[in-house]
Structure formats: structure tokens, C-alpha cells
Amino acid sequence: MTYYAKIRELTKTISPTLVDFGLPRDPARTPTQASSNFITNKEQGDWAENLVFRSINETSKNFIAVKYGKSDDLVAGEDGFDTFYQDFQEELDTIGKRPDLLIFRKEDFRKDLGFDLSQIPHHKITEYVKMAIAGIEVRSSAFLIDKYEEAMQVRTEKFSQIALQARDVILAEFQEELNHPSRQGYIDLLQSITPKTLSVTDFRVPSWSSSERLSELKDYFRTLKGAIKQIQKRDYLSITPKVEDIKVVYKWIETFNVPHFYFQVFFDKVYGISFEQILSIISDSNNEGVNFSVERDTKNQNKTTIKINSKSGIPIASKVEEPIHKSVRKEMDRGRLLFYVTFKGGTAYLDVDNLINILDIDSNEF
């Protein structure tokens, strides 16, 4: 069975309410104006891509990373951007979404095309791209994942303690109020709350205010509810393929039959996961709320995004040295100024064993 055939079979196991592969992708609106935050995020993404690109080429003797993803220095609002963006949309519908990097065996690498294919029309390199052993989509996140996880553990412990203390005070000090027939249901609710059930408990805070005691009791319920809401927030950093991206990645795999991977770059580590594993995770509804969540991304035009726990992947680099960063001034039309951050340098120390494992390369071959 070919790689594409395996992926095609997996797509059939995914609920169409999550990703409907039978429907065409939604048309995208051309952005009209860039922001400082957008350009900073783009610069960070470019840095992350370059970090992985350099780390592979500086480490491997027999494999070469080549830049491939459609990219341009133009941003919304500059001359030529509309044409670039429409060409990009047409390419998505023709061959799918190019991954940022391609990995070739050294003997297959074409020196005449060099290390950057991003500006070459797709029809001129179709057969060459099919020779790649992997396509890598590089994502970046402005977090230190180790410190984030430590902070999330502290948060969970803190609000668990607040919630359980509020539960205990209510049961110990407000029995008379709760024993009233109209309020006895709250006793069952409170008794069902344990450290294990905090993550799934939900209730409406009562609106009692007809006496001082009931108002005080209401405040304890509000404290309990607030603590539970904090506990139930997503507590992991994620690899975040948008639903529409899953469709165009699948289209690219259909076109080229090359294995596809996501690498998530943090400022202290890099995690990798195969597209095949992503599909396997989201095809099992029992994984929702555990290994992945589905959210509307307010930072990206409210597009539906699948957020997969980064720890579902494997560490590709167990250490990253942070880049140098500096502020840049950019003058747009009508004298509008944008100030953003650029990134340069940094090093990712590859975990070679994990890298060759995820790419399914023989250790002697790498």
C-alpha cells in the first residue's frame, strides 16, 4: 500500500463534522492590511523554519533539507501582494499546500536547483518533489514549553485546592440552608466533587440574595465555579493544524505521495509528529479533550483549529538556543509605520535517534 493510499484510508475514519474531505475548501479572503503583530509572527515562523533547515543540513551526512514552502517578503498592503496571494490560492487548489521543507537523499539532490525551491513554479519541479523522502511543515510558538508546563501544574494544584476548600466549607457550614427541599440537589452535586471529577464538573451558580446567609453561600459557589473553570482550561501547548490546512495537506500528499510531518518549534525544544498520527488521533473521538481539542482561533479570523497536545509527538530537539532579536521599522503606504521584531541565529540540538525514528530512516543511513 502506498503512503497516499494509507492516508486516504485514514481520512475515511474521520467524522465529517470535524473535517469533511468531500467538500471543497472554503475560499479565502485576500488580507488587506498587515499589522506589526502579523509581521512579527511571520518573522518568527521564518526563523523557526530556518532553524530546522540549518540543524538538519549541519547534522546529516546523507540527507539534505531544501526550502519549498510558498513564501514571499511581501505583506498585505504592499504592491504585488494581491497577485502573490491569488497565485498561492490557485496553487492550493491545484497541488495542495507545500510543506515548508523537503528532505532529499544527497544523491537525489539537484545542485542546479539549489536549497530553495519556494519561487519555482510547481509544474517545473513535480517529478523532483516526488523524489523527496519527507515534507515538513514547521510551526513556531513563542513559549518555553518546559516553563509553561510547570506553570500549568502549579495552576491546577492551586485551583484544585481552592475548589475543594470551597466545597468543604459549604458542606460544613451551610447544611441548614442546603437541607431546604429546593436546594438539596446541591448536596449531591458537592458530594460528587473529588480531585478526579473537578475536570468534568459543571453547574450554574445560584442567584440567591434574599438573606445574608444565602448571599454568602452564593459567593462560595461562585468561588467554586471560578476555580473549576480555571482547572478545565486547556493546559498543554499544541501543534495546531487548521481544519482547512488538513484538506490542502491531504491534497499535496495525493499529488506527490511523500510522507508529511509537522514540527513545532518552541524557544527551548522542538517536537515532531507525522500527519498520519495526526489523522489517527483526531479519528478517535475518545481522544478529544485528552490529546486534542477543537477551537475557534480568535487570532486567525476565528478559523476552526485542531489543537493537538505537543507531547503526542516526540522531541526532535531537546534543547534550543534562543536567537538574537531586534526591532525593525517598516514604512507602508500613506506613511503608515509598522514596528516588528526579527530573529536571527539560534541553534537546535537535534535528537538524531528521534528524528530518524519519526522519518523512518535507518540510523546508518542518516
Number of helices (H), then strands (E), in the chain: 11, 12
Q: Which of 68-82, 200-214, 223-237, 269-283 has the lowest average pLDDT? A: 68-82
The residue among 229 and 300 whose pLDDT is bigger is 229
Alpha-carbon distances of 242 from 29, 86, 297, 303, rounded to whole Å = 16, 20, 9, 7
* Residue 299: predicted pLDDT: 60
Q: Which helix (H) or strand (E) holds 264?
A: strand 260-265
> Phi/psi of residue 36, each to 5°?
-60, -40
pLDDT value, residue 36: 82
Question: Is 18 a residue whose pLDDT tops 70?
Answer: yes
CB of 138 closer than 8 Å to CB of 49: yes
Rounded to an integer, the average pLDDT of 69-97 is 79
DSSP state of 24: P
Q: How many Cβ atoms from other residues are within 10 Å of residue 156's Cβ?
A: 17
DSSP 3-state of 339: strand
DSSP 98: P
Q: What is the mean pLDDT of the chain?
A: 91
The amino acid that residue 341 corresponds to is V
Q: How many residues does the chain have?
A: 366
pLDDT at 301: 59
- Whether 363 has a pLDDT exceeding 80, the answer reads no
Inform me whether the pLDDT recorded for 302 exceeds 70: no
Which range has the worst mean pLDDT, 186-190, 192-196, 337-341? Answer: 337-341
Give 249-279 pLDDT, tens digit per residue: 999 999 999 999 999 999 999 999 999 999 9
Rg (CA), the chain: 25
pTM: 0.88
Task: Return the pLDDT at 300.
Answer: 56
Handedness of CA 308, 314, 317, 319 (dihedral sign): positive
Q: What is the mean pLDDT of residues 221-231?
A: 96
- Distance CA(169)–CA(185), nearest Å, equals 17
Rounded CA-CA distance 354/366 in Å is 12
Name the more confident of 327 and 33. Answer: 327
SS3 106: helix
Q: What does the pLDDT read at residue 317?
A: 96
Model confidence at 79, pLDDT cuts 50, 70, 90, reads confident
- Widest distance between CA atoms in the chain: 84
pLDDT category of residue 128 using cuts at 50, 70 and 90: very high
* pLDDT tier, 90 (very low <50, low <70, confident <90, very high otherwise): confident
Q: How far, CA to CA in Å, does 360 sit from each of 157, 357, 365?
A: 39, 5, 11
pLDDT in the model for residue 297:
67
Report pLDDT for 277.
Answer: 96
Tell me the C-alpha distance between 65 and 100, whole Å: 10
- Using alpha carbons only, what angle is made at residue 211 by residues 206 and 217, rounded to the nearest 5 degrees? 45
**Residue 53: helix, strand or coil by DSSP?**
helix
The rounded distance, in Å, linking the Cα atoms of 290 and 271 is: 18
What percent of the chain clears pLDDT 70, i.e. is strictly above it?
96
Tell me what pLDDT residue 29 has.
79
**Residue environment code for 346-365, b if the CB has 16+ CB neighbours within 10 A, otherwise e:** bebebbeebbbebbebeeee
- Helix/strand/coil for 134: strand
Contact 98, 68 (CB under 8 A): yes
Reading the block at residue 195, the C-alpha cell is 480531585
Residues 157-187: pLDDT tens digits? 999 999 999 999 999 999 999 999 999 999 9
Residue 27 confidence class, pLDDT cut points 50, 70, 90: confident
Structure confidence at residue 284 (pLDDT) = 92
Out of 4-18, 32-46, 81-95, the most confident range is 4-18
